[in-house]
A and B are shown apart, each in its own frame.
Chain A
Amino acid sequence: DQQVKQNSPSLSVQEGRISILNCDYTNSMFDYFLWYKKYPAEGPTFLISISSIKDKNEDGRFTVFLNKSAKHLSLHIVPSQPGDSAVYFCAASGAGGTSYGKLTFGQGTILTVHP
């Protein structure tokens, strides 16, 4: 039972354009959402997060949107750069007291930004 789903295995975008990566979740107890970026032969690195009390969080070129009613979040990268080419994982966490920081990850989306 995949509680966090990234239905697009890959995405190809031209440099300078917008990249939109999508993520859906099924567990209504999730209240904190994160995006991680992973380059080959490296560990995932934290990119941006959003709490369930917000619907948008912005950090430079990266913006995460949360639609709680649809159980959907998205990551926007504007403008996209070739260095953004990586695997992007969506992750979710439940209520802090009982979740112990455990994250449930989606399958990942491979983003390729062409020069």
Chain B
Amino acid sequence: NAGVTQTPKFRVLKTGQSMTLLCAQDMNHEYMYWYRQDPGMGLRLIHYSVGEGTTAKGEVPDGYNVSRLKKQNFLLGLESAAPSQTSVYFCASSRRPPFGELFFGEGSRLTVL
């Protein structure tokens, strides 16, 4: 009963390096999301996907790219990491609305030096 799984859990990058966060869900959910959590800011939506092959920008998309090649996977990429991208990243998935409950992964802590 894995639910939403994120890899890696922790990563340290140097400014300018690139990396990809992987999110996998086994609940056959249509919708998937990437959020970032920063102190005092709550969770902010980066990008989301409403189905395989589709992606859309959220509230804070700059500096990130995403892909949804398979229904169960949603990848978040940082092409050139910046210290401002130091954060905890959460992936979530949900059934098609009107059911609003999102299921979250455990988070990926990224530090950019």
Report whether A43 and B106 are in contact in the complex, using a CB–CB cutoff of 8 Å. yes
Report whether B42 and A89 are in contact in the complex, using a CB–CB cutoff of 8 Å. yes
Give residues of chain A (58-115) contacting chain B, Cβ–Cβ below 8 Å: 89, 93, 96-97, 99-108
Q: Mark B21-55, 1 if CB is under 8 A from A, else 0.
A: 00000000001010100001111110010100000
Q: How many residues of B contact A (CB 8 A)?
A: 30
Quick one: given A43-B4, A105-B42, A107-B42, are A49 and B100 in contact (CB under 8 Å)?
yes
* Bound CA span A93–B94, Å: 13
Report whether A42 and B100 are in contact in the complex, using a CB–CB cutoff of 8 Å. no
Quick one: given A102-B33, A107-B42, are A45 and B104 in contact (CB under 8 Å)?
yes
A to B contact number (C-beta, < 8 Å): 69
Chain B residues near A36 (CB, 8 Å)?
104
Instruction: Tell me the smallest distance from the CB of B87 to a CB of chain A, in Å.
Output: 14
Could you say which of A6, A9, A41, A103 has the most chain B C-beta atoms within 10 Å of its C-beta? Answer: A103
Report whether B43 and A100 are in contact in the complex, using a CB–CB cutoff of 8 Å. no
Chain B residues near A103 (CB, 8 Å)?
43, 45, 100, 102
Could you say which of B44, B94, B97 has the most chain A C-beta atoms within 10 Å of its C-beta? Answer: B97
* Bound CA span A100–B99, Å: 10
Please, could you name 14 A-B residue pairs with CB atoms under 8 Å apart, sorted by A?
A43-B105, A46-B102, A89-B42, A89-B43, A100-B31, A100-B97, A101-B33, A101-B94, A102-B58, A103-B100, A104-B45, A105-B42, A105-B43, A105-B44
B→A interface (CB under 8 Å): 4, 31, 33, 35, 40-45, 48, 50, 56, 58-59, 90, 92, 94, 96-107
